[in-house]
Structure 1
């Protein structure tokens, strides 16, 4: 994809495309959960297409992903004349709201104090730090309550860093790279550009935080324990302009309704998990 050198969102788009073919279905879930759900939940295909084309995703890829999501029970769909609309299904929305507590939790004032070490077969190691096969270190609030074999609960006393799996280190490196690109963004982004940047920021953060835990000082060998705070800063910075895009009508789509009381995006990253 050729991106003009003056495109402010180009660094984030290149970062997404550098990983290979994007998982368009997952990007659509991010759009629906992060941007659309607070505004009634429904998005017109024309609006979704405008946003996804802005980040390098072709209409054909979007249509294929929407069909897959509908077939897998992720989406509800409606038609009005020639226009089609999509939203997360009730069951999948419940899953997203549960995940949102981890995605949008406020940055911690200090290090996590209580941890759980599980030894044995865990039902799902996502959200924990895999130290060895069958051995996972969890923040206490994220640890499985059953089905994980031996559980040891206590506080961390680190004499050195813990080697992280390469997959985890790579995910954090890519997150830091995107945050560095956002540092250089102009303050006066156009609404669609701001929405595209918000989508790419939140999509990368969602993938990181739902798979790996926040790390206390001393665990990350890079010494980087500030990712959540930096994500929150840039997310809040992008919100005003990106919300204007949601409030605007465009070719083939109407403005979305205002956010429901209690669902305002401006309250995100302010509440504990």
Structure 2
């Protein structure tokens, strides 16, 4: 099979999902493509990106409308054209998740935990905050208590304020542990997060995208537009798994943890196709002022640094470390 045939297989797999969550896919597009280029884009440009994946114009309009209603996007009307950008609240909700997507490795863990006590919240607010914390990959330590090894109290306070829960939520930061991986702590981690399910999701991601990676070294016939579609699907599927991952330190993870290989595969594929995808994006995206500007400087720091010769060096990358 060729790389294009592998991409077609990925598209078919995406189209079979029910319900087809176009809203989530649009958030992926904003985080990966639109935000680094100023954050504002014409609705027609979004439709152009989603058409190759079989997402109808009607579904795009409906999904964008819902994202506006839910506070993710805001709209600006210029004549008969609609332009959309991420709200401040929406940006805060997904920015941390996208930061984890493009970071090669987690910082060394100092043994501290962020603990959040929800018992004093009203039931409706408690349920809302619990869902928001789960979205940030917090685990359930006990009834009404959630935990995370890398989130800090400083990061959490403004979010709690935004959710209207700051006054009735107790947030504690534990002191770093001298003995960071005792048997009891490992058992607690297994109870707080379903690592078996998370590992299965990483394994499924690897099974989906490894065939495309292999074909890029032998039969790479992807066009710039194809590379955009592959890039969107890659980041979308990886982001969905990563949202559930608290990025536990290595000493609390199984030795054969699939998340390491998934990160490497995502990095290698992204580096191999991003340059060609940007060629298409430069002509396909526009806002009220015209074509979108090029990516910000921060874009090129993704995955440890992007270079313009990524495509020509695909075989070299494979030799250095195939995933």
- Helix, strand or coil: the match of 1:43? strand
Corresponding position of 1:103 = 101
Match of 2:228 among 192, 195, 205: 195
Aligned to 1:171: 201
Distance 1:69 1:81 in 2: 22
Cα 1:118–1:181 shift into 2, 3 Å: farther
Q: Distance in 2 between matches of 1:252 and 1:8?
A: 32
| Structure 1 residues 28-86: Cα deviation after superposition (integer angstroms, max 9, x where no partner) | 11111210111121222222112112122121111110111122222222334443221
Q: Work out whether 1:22 is the aligned partner of 2:45.
A: no
| Structure-2 change in CA distance of 1:140 and 1:76 (3 Å) | closer
| Partner in structure 1 of residue 312 of structure 2 | none
Which of 210, 218, 223 aligns to 1:180? It is 210
CA deviation profile, 1:224-263 (whole Å, cap 9, x unmatched): 2412232222222221011111101489995322223x33
Query: How many Å apart are 1:195 and its aligned residue?
Result: 1.0
Question: Gaps (5+ residues) in structure 1?
Answer: none
Matches within 5 A, 1:229-248: 229-248=264-283
Relative distance call for 1:267 and 1:250 in structure 2 (3 A) is: closer
Return the index of the structure with the highest Cα Rg.
2
Q: Secondary structure at 2:19's aligned position in 1?
A: coil
Q: Is the 8 A contact 2:34 2:41 kept in 1?
A: yes
2:181 equivalent among 125, 142, 156? 156
In structure 2, C-alpha distance between the alignment counterparts of 1:25 and 1:255, rounded to whole Å: 24
Q: Which runs of 5+ in 2 are unaligned?
A: 120-129, 158-168, 306-323
CA distance in 2, matches of 1:180, 1:210: 21
1:119 deviation in Å?
A: 9.2
* Alignment map for 1:19-168 (pairs within 5 Å): 19-108=17-106, 112=109, 114=111, 116=113, 123=130, 124-125=133-134, 126-128=136-138, 138-141=148-151, 147=170, 151=174, 153-154=176-177, 155-157=180-182, 165=194, 167-168=197-198
After TM superposition, give the deviation of residue 190 of structure 1 in Å.
1.1
Q: Is the 8 A contact 1:45 1:86 kept in 2?
A: yes
Distance 2:7 2:70 in 1: 31
Q: Distance in 1 between matches of 2:17 and 2:141?
A: 25
Checking the alignment, whether the CA contact within 8 Å between 2:140 and 2:147 is kept in structure 1 is: yes
**Cα distance in 1 for residues equivalent to 2:258 and 2:110:** 18
- TM-score after normalising by structure 1: 0.77
Q: 1:71/1:251 Cα in 2 relative to 1: closer, same or farther (>3 Å)?
A: closer
How far apart, CA to CA, are the structure 2 residues paired with 1:211 and 1:134? 19
Higher helix proportion, which one? 2
- How many residues end up aligned between the 2 structures? 265
Counterpart of 2:230 in 1: which secondary structure? Answer: helix
RMSD across aligned C-alpha pairs, in angstroms? 3.7
